[in-house]
Structure 1
């Protein structure tokens, strides 16, 4: 673990203990995750490295409480998610987690700033404060002149920057990112990742970022590798 004072000795934001996930396919049992143990401290940025099909997305779905069927323990911000009701899991996800995917998944009928405002309104943040927060994030990402543009009017890199701002809008304790620059050319990917990491570090969030790119992974605080269902 890094000696970064932001998270040195701090209580983990994430603690996974013996996390497992299996599927049945054609009558054959496939063990995707085989006893994952991982802790992530506040402010720590961890790269989850592995080739396509290694189970990275499955692991992020587990940490993000996006589906069931997992064995073991998932503890987020000191709360054992297995002991929560569906509504409580939804509230935990809404209040403490942010998500960035390879494809931006922006709402096409809304402008850039509206896409970043909406999750704040869901979290009961006042409209004026939400507008200010959204404009500030988008400006830091170089989109000050694009606030009122809809996704179809933005380039791929700009769309992904809006997705980053949306994920960070509610100041989550943990950001989960699944190949967040995988759909961009190398130069744009480098710039978007740099801005993403700067913002995450600037607000003190932790992050678990899935990637198959060794070069990008080295820019993070720690690298864990998913191989045949276990972390190395």
Structure 2
């Protein structure tokens, strides 16, 4: 997993991010260095407000204003234009959030099909992929149910399937089970990690839960804007 010759899926060098608030400068990230290799599942640990979401936004190329270097699958993100960053996101990254953000008017299968259609995958192939993932997550009997007809744990499983639909090199997850009770969170996280490992994707998973973090391959801690 950490063989010296293997190129990282993502590499951050001296990553910084600052905000102005009330006339004061707040340094959220103060020189973050991180490399994640193919197939590696990394827990990003830190208390609320430590900058975990800001770091994920940087890796996910979701907003600007960052200093330093961001390399995604060998491509320099900070030197790419808006279109190139969109292509990098679509071809290499998958996203899972604390709140599922499923489209309410579409059923479970359709929610997992849609990002594949955006990536120009043929519909029949996209539907087969969506069904494969949802069945693997124990939702084979819920394919035609809309989000409002699903439990919280089921909704988050659909979100997991959607995040993996395009076979990303790297999955970014921001407190993916933070909105679930402990027992459901354990089950969903276990299924998520098993599926990610089976797919061969890497993952960076932000959490403030030490117990859940220990289930992953490596733990990095965000403290005062740098990784420990």
Scaled by the length of structure 1, what TM-score is found? Answer: 0.97
Counterpart of 1:97? 93
Structure 1: distance between partners of 2:81 and 2:68 = 17
Structure 2: distance between partners of 1:62 and 1:85 = 15
Structure 1: distance between partners of 2:3 and 2:159 = 29
Counterpart of 2:150? 154
Structure 2: distance between partners of 1:163 and 1:36 = 28
Structure 2: distance between partners of 1:155 and 1:147 = 13
Counterpart of 2:106? 110
Shift of residue 51 of structure 1? Answer: 0.3
Shift of residue 120 of structure 1? Answer: 0.5
Shift of residue 8 of structure 1? Answer: 2.9
Structure 2: distance between partners of 1:90 and 1:132 = 25
Counterpart of 2:170? 174
Structure 1: distance between partners of 2:54 and 2:114 = 27
Gaps of 5+ in 1: none
Aligned pairs for 1:45-194 within 5 A? 45-194=41-190
Gaps of 5+ in 2: none
RMSD of Structure 2 on Structure 1 (CA): 0.6
Q: Number of residue pairs matched?
A: 227
Counterpart of 1:8? 3
Shift of residue 195 of structure 1? Answer: 0.5
Counterpart of 1:27? 23
Name the SS of the counterpart of 1:82 in structure 2. coil
Structure 2: distance between partners of 1:199 and 1:211 = 19
Structure 1: distance between partners of 2:143 and 2:3 = 37
Counterpart of 2:204? 208
C-alpha offsets along residues 21-77 of structure 1, whole Å, 9 cap, x if unaligned? 000000000000000000000000000000000000000000000000000000000
Name the SS of the counterpart of 2:128 in structure 1. helix
- In the TM superposition, structure 1's runs of 4+ consecutive aligned residues that sit over 6 Å from their partners are none
Structure 2: distance between partners of 1:97 and 1:151 = 24
Structure 1: distance between partners of 2:132 and 2:8 = 29
Counterpart of 2:225? 229
Structure 2: distance between partners of 1:45 and 1:97 = 14
